Amino acid sequence: MVASERRCGMNRHIQPEGSGHPSDAGGWCRGCGYHSVFASLQTLVERNGHAQERTVFLCGDGCPSLLPDPPRNFIFQGASGCAATLALGVTSANPSLDVWAMSADGDALADGAAALLELIRHNADVSCLVFRDAFAGRTDSPQNASTTALEVPGGPVVPNANACRLAIGAGGSFVARAHEAHDETLRTVLAAAQAHRGAGFVEILQVCLARHPVMDVGAEEMLEVTHGAPMIFGADRDKGLRRTTAVACGFEVVALTKGSREDAGLAVHDETDPGQAILLTDLPRPAFPIVTGVLYRQPEPRPRPAAPVEPDFQARRAALARAMQDAPTWDGTGE
């Protein structure tokens, strides 16, 4: 069975066969960061202790749906904005599965935004990946959820959507961000999202080499946060963030020297503080770095709402029949 025949389409379901790694490389461009993300996912699936046959990847449209077919995993590609809906249905029907929902930003934050919020609100046991490639803003209408100021003359009418802030505002119990070029951080974040009991939301900053490298940033502009550690960044780790009330974003950048780190009063990351996490998701660029890592994680897993009790349809049908027989009815004849 060839790779294209193993994919689960909208109108068919085929049991995957074979073993090992995929023979094809998907439909991505050469050098695209999706290759490294998929390699990290495959490594994680192989090491998670679960059978690969019990891992399901659910995609909408766009570049995430072009991932190669893992020989012993299930892939279901739906329509635009359907990844979160499919994931919520799959994990509700079979909670023992390891479910991954993969969407691009234009897919997840536009026509799929309502479904994404429902998945987060239900705290479904799903690892939800949203790829911030800003690709849809150049292929769809100018007013897309991922449109940037550089892509529309005069700038977009409304600002683009902030995926992590949206997830935290919806009550997400795990929210993280990673860059596709930083393999170590990416693997750490993906593993943490999968291990989380509930909805693990991860925004992956993606460089689109074919269109516009909007997320092509270096170490000088990245801040990887770790719980309990001071916020230090820069290629030489010579900068830090300090809390302040003087500016609206709540932080200020301070220069560091070897002897000033202890006295600089740097902010310490607390992944259990949703207020701090919201501030970190929306630091103004380019004056501030892009923050990656686990931004927020609830200290105690929030239990998923219990499924409603299945109604007794036979009892309801019998009660309706008795009501129809005992009560006066009108048969439409006028008699």
Most confident residue range from 39-48, 126-135, 284-293: 284-293
Residue 266 placed within a domain: no
Contact yes or no for 34/66 (Cβ under 8 A) = yes
Mean pLDDT over 190-205 rounds to 93
pLDDT of residue 41: 86
Q: What total of structural domains would you count in the chain?
A: 1
Residue 229 has what pLDDT? 94
- 311 within domain boundaries: no
The answer for residues whose C-beta is within 8 angstroms of residue 197's C-beta and 6 or more apart is 125, 301
Residue 47 domain flag: yes
pLDDT of residue 326: 74
Assigned domain for 198 exists: yes
What pLDDT shows up at residue 143?
Answer: 61
Q: How confident is the model at residue 119 (pLDDT cuts 50, 70, 90)?
A: very high
| Confidence label for 303 from pLDDT (cuts 50, 70 and 90) | low
Task: Kindly state whether residue 224 falls inside one of the protein's structural domains.
Answer: no
What are the tens digits of pLDDT across the range 153-184?
666 667 778 899 999 999 999 999 999 888 88
Could you report the per-residue pLDDT of 61-115, keeping only the tens digit for each?
A: 778 877 776 555 677 777 788 899 999 999 988 888 899 999 888 788 888 889 9
| Domain of residue 97, residue span | 3-216
Percent of the chain with pLDDT over 90: 34
pLDDT category of residue 335 using cuts at 50, 70 and 90: low
* Cβ neighbours for 202, distance < 8 A, ≥ 6 positions apart: 127, 128, 129, 130, 176, 177, 178, 189, 190, 193
Rounded to whole angstroms, the Cα distance separating 263 from 184 reads 30
Whole-angstrom Cα distance, residue 58 to residue 65? 8
Reference 207, options 133, 131, 107, 285; nearest CA is: 133
Q: Is pLDDT above 90 for 44? A: no
Q: Which of 37-51, 162-176, 228-242, 244-258 has the lowest mean pLDDT?
A: 37-51
The CA R_g of the chain, rounded to the nearest whole Å, is: 24
Query: Which carries the bigger pLDDT value, residue 311 or residue 165?
Result: 165
Give a yes or no: residue 101 inside a domain.
yes
The predicted pLDDT at position 153 comes to 64
Residue 104, domain CATH? 3.40.50.970
β-strands 98-104, 74-77 pairing:
unpaired
> pTM of the predicted model, to two decimals?
0.79
Q: What are the angstrom distances between the C-alpha of 94 and each of 78, 91, 97, 124, 320?
A: 19, 5, 6, 12, 33
Within a domain: 263: no
In a domain, 84, yes or no: yes
